[in-house]
Amino acid sequence: MEYYELHPENPQLRYINKAVEVLKRGGVIIYPTDTIYGIGCDIFNHEALEKIITIKNDSSSKLFSFVCSDLKDIAKYAKVSDYAYRTMKYLLPGPYTFILPAAKLVPKKLWSNRKTVGIRVPNHSVTLKLVQELGNPIISTSATNRKGQILIDPKEIKNIFNPLVDLMLSSGHLAGDPSSVIDLSMDEPEVLRVGAGDVSLFV
């Protein structure tokens, strides 16, 4: 595993570009977000997605969310209602995963049975720069141990995933609280998970 320590607010572009090169050739990386460390790949690389499923020891029916660079980017991969747009404009970038109707551009492997997808725009410079430089969204699934516990120490993550992923971007210890998950695919919003983000807007 290649391992690079990045400044959380002004990440070194040379390390971002190394991660982008890995993603473009179908590799799997670990990267920081505004909540926890994520395991990711290019959403359009089927083989890389299968690698992540194996790493996470999840069945092929497991649904993963993905990271977009901004609100404009989200509109390419999901159908966004006026209410959803206003809500996301107010809260993003931030520690939220929004469930939205999938656009045809998204690989069906990432669709739920209801034809929805989970999308994130984390408030973290490393994550956003990574997606911007790649030009495609990346998978976002939490880095956890075999017990499903979230890992926040980059050195521990490195030791566990060293033989499994191609590259890790580290920016120190993270808070360890997962994102709040808000379903905006229906007429009324629904809070599916209370996490790091304030959900008082929906209750």
Beta-strand pair 65-67/116-120:
parallel
pLDDT at 137: 97
pLDDT at 48: 95
CATH code for the domain in which residue 90 is found: 3.90.870.10
Q: Three-state secondary structure along the chain?
A: CEEEECCCCCCCHHHHHHHHHHHHCCCCEEEECCCCEEEECECCCHHHHHHHHHHHCCCCCCCCEEECCCHHHHHHHECCCHHHHHHHHHHCCCCEEEEEEECCCCCHHHCCCCCEEEEECCCCHHHHHHHHHHCCCEEEEECECCCCCECCCHHHHHHHHCCCCCEEEECCCCCCCCCEEEECCCCCCEEEECCCCCCHHHC
pLDDT at 175: 83
R_g of the chain computed on alpha carbons: 16
- Parent domain of 85: 2-202
The number of CA neighbours under 13 Å toward the Cβ of 145 is 11
pLDDT at 59: 52
For the chain, the domain total comes to 1
pLDDT at 82: 95
Low-confidence ranges of the chain (pLDDT < 70): 58-62
Burial class (CB in 10 A: 0-12, 13-18, 19+), 62: exposed
Contact 170, 2 (CB under 8 A): no
How far separated are the first and last CA of the chain, in Å rounded?
43
Contact 40, 200 (CB under 8 A): no
pLDDT at 165: 97
| pTM score | 0.93
